């Protein structure tokens, strides 16, 4: 679908520069992306989705309680703590 000329043209329009190797890799990647989008376009929403087998909860491990580390042990290397919790800087 994509050829190196088309990729080079799109790169020029996008103000991108590629080496010859990068151009070939980008051409392959673009071809793969277009092929994937073609598969998405083939999706038929009228077909009922597969029904998944239900989970047999007897096969899962039990939910058992275990003692955790004490808070003082967990927080001993923390730079800032307050009310037995880590204090982290606000990020905007």
pLDDT at 38: 87
> Cβ distance 27 to 1 under 8 Å?
no
Angstrom distance (rounded) from CA 39 to CA 73: 53
Per residue in 21-46, pLDDT (tens digit) is 999 999 999 999 999 988 888 877 77
pLDDT of residue 92: 78
Domain locations in the chain as residue ranges: 4-41
Residue range 4-19: average pLDDT? 93
C-alpha distance across the termini of the chain, in Å: 43
């Amino acid at each position: 679908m994509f050829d190196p000329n088309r990729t080079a043209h799109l790169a020029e329009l996008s103000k991108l520069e590629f080496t010859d190797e990068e151009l070939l890799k980008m051409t392959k990647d673009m071809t793969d992306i277009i092929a994937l989008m073609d598969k998405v376009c083939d999706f038929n929403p009228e077909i009922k989705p597969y029904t998944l087998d239900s989970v047999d909860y007897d096969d899962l491990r039990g939910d058992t309680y275990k003692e955790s580390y004490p808070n003082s042990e967990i927080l001993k290397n923390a730079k800032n703590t307050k009310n037995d919790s880590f204090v982290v800087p606000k990020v905007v």
